[in-house]
Amino acid sequence: MVAGRGGVISAKAEVATSEPNTGLSYSRFQKLNEPSFTGLLKPVFLAPTSLQIVKINLDKSIEELGVVNNRIGVPSDWQGVGYYVGSSRAGEEGNMIIVGHLDDNSGRPAAFYKISQLSAGDVITVSDGHRVFNYTVIGKVSILDGTSEALQEDLGGPGLILVTCGGVWNYTTHSYSQRLLVKAVLSK
């Protein structure tokens, strides 16, 4: 008998034995009284592979991003989005971080140009290639460039934070002064 999550797993194993004094072999089933495997079973979480936001007509494949010069990397293409591999995976406790450009180096709209239009209650869909996860937007916040505490905030369950540029463009540093974060939690 095999039970689902939290249940006890018991099994019967076929054991080969010999008939006494005949040398003939036969099989019989023997119940194994092994401990439950429930504590050993852990859900498998995979990196996200696609992002969809119907409200802003966004449908993107996701590339994986690491750290470059002590900062989360950015997508290789202006119209691309990237998953920070140091963050949680789709559906996992903690915050999954997905980054996208606001605009390109000529000021033309890029992948996350419209995420500022998202508001509480909007749905963001993430797939890991096998499962689909819906996240509900709970709010937005702007932070100073170079700060990261808001990325680690407990959102009350598996979370998703979309990150793009915001604030004012600094021609000296070639960077925006702020980052816009759109926060969402896994829908129940």
Over 90: is that where the pLDDT of 35 sits?
no
Report yes or no: 173 and 108 within 8 Å, Cβ to Cβ.
Answer: no
Residue 18 reports pLDDT greater than 70? no
Contact 30, 106 (CB under 8 A): no
Render pLDDT for 41-53 as a digit per residue (tens, 0 to 9).
778 899 999 999 9
Between 41 and 118, residue with greater pLDDT = 118
Helices (H) and strands (E) in the chain — how many of each? 0, 12
Average pLDDT, the chain: 84
Looking at residue 61, its pLDDT comes to: 97
Consecutive H or E run containing 29: strand 25-32
Give me the pLDDT at residue 139, please. Answer: 96
How many C-beta atoms surround the C-beta of residue 95 within 10 A?
22
Instruction: Give the angle subtended at the CA of 172 by the CAs of 177 and 85, to the nearest 5°.
Output: 50
Taking the alpha carbons at both ends of the chain, their separation in whole angstroms is 30
Residue 27 scores a pLDDT above 60: no
pLDDT of residue 36: 60
pLDDT of amino acid 32: 53
pLDDT of residue 20: 53
Q: Is the predicted pLDDT of residue 22 greater than 90, yes or no?
A: no
pLDDT of residue 29: 47
**pLDDT reading at 17 higher than 70:** no
pLDDT average, residue stretch 90-111: 95
- Tell whether the model's pLDDT for residue 9 goes beyond 50: no
